[in-house]
Amino acid sequence: MINIEADNVNGAYTEGMLYLMEEGVPEESRNGKVIVAPEPVCTTYYRPTERVLFSPERDANPFFHLMECLWMMDGRNDAEFLIYFNSRMGQYANDDGTFDGAYGHRWRKHFMFDQITYLVELLKRDPTTRRAVLTMFDPAFDLGTNSKDIPCNTQIYFDMRYNKLNMTVCNRSNDAVWGCYGANAVHFSFLQEVIAGMLDVTVGDYRQFSNNLHFYPNAPRMDIVLSQPFSTDLYLKYGWKPYPVVTNPTEWFQDLTNFMDDPHMDGANSFFYMVARPVLLAWIAHKEKKIGWAINIAESIADPAWQHACVAWLGRRF
């Protein structure tokens, strides 16, 4: 197994992509030619809350990444919300406008109970437990099905050491560009930070085990991505600190629901109105083609990394 260690997603993206470009093996897949790591890869993030990727060539959509985090944590599986931020998501939806493998829905509703709430209570009762497992893959539902949306990430292990919450995510098939060092680095570190906040502990290491790490060389824009397979770490360069996601754990899920229903509502957790609200409002202005207004709103985002990423993403378009 190959081990990649990095402070944050920018270092991991650089190391992971260079490794795949140098050591990856060409194979054929149901989606065409693919470059695959010759063995499983474990990526370890030592500062996982530094989750924003800055590579302009990769051009990750920060609006979509953050809003999908909130959509997941709210336990939803409707396609309409995500399609508003990324129209390509529609190709994975069912005819009824839902996703089969939505992670947040699996975490909170699919198995008929809220796994996150149960897991938090388990770790509170026994911080030394090795049974804190969050499951996404449901063999009765997923094994052998022709669904367009089967979870690639199958389960998550949590453990507490030295008052830190560590997390290991297991993935059966991981696209390095769009998944592992894109959406996964954002969504799962967000989940880790929320659970750590509920437990009143700090965020520890985040390990991503990718049984099959790969990229598709003929995918759209991959020629640009592969021309500059690295990302500058602006967290290190400017000393940026992530804005805390959880400041009032007892009110967090209620604040989340309120925000998803009405983003103009304030709450006990300032992340929603200092970071998430201007991200959402800037996207709405972008969709309405109010270019200057979108950038102006994005410049008010309290988290410096999200602010930079959103302003830069808008600027590359206008």
Question: Which entry of 69, 152, 170, 180 is annotated as an active-site residue?
Answer: 152
**Annotated catalytic residue 170:** no
User: Cα separation of 214 and 201, whole Å?
Assistant: 34
Distance CA 155, CA 165 (A): 16
User: For residue 231, what are the CA distances in angstroms to 49, 52, 70, 237?
Assistant: 17, 11, 25, 12
Distance between CA 172 and CA 182 in Å, rounded?
16
Q: How far apart, in whole angstroms, are the C-alpha atoms of residue 236 and residue 46? A: 13
The rounded distance, in Å, linking the Cα atoms of 21 and 35 is 8
DSSP secondary structure string for all residues of the chain: -EEEEESSHHHHHHHHHHHHHHH-EEEEETTEEEEE-SS-EEEEESSTT------TTTT--HHHHHHHHHHHHTT--BHHHHHHH-GGGGGGS-TTSB-SS-HHHIIIIITSS-HHHHHHHHHHH-TT-S--EEE---HHHHTT---S---SEEEEEEEEETTEEEEEEEESSEEIIIIIIIIIHHHHHHHHHHHHHHHT-EEEEEEEEESSEEE-TTSTTHHHHHHS-----HHHHHT--PPPS-S-GGGHHHHHHHHHH-TT---S-THIIIIIHHHHHHHHHHHTT-HHHHHHHHTT-SSHHHHHHHHHHHHHH-
- Residues classed as catalytic: 152
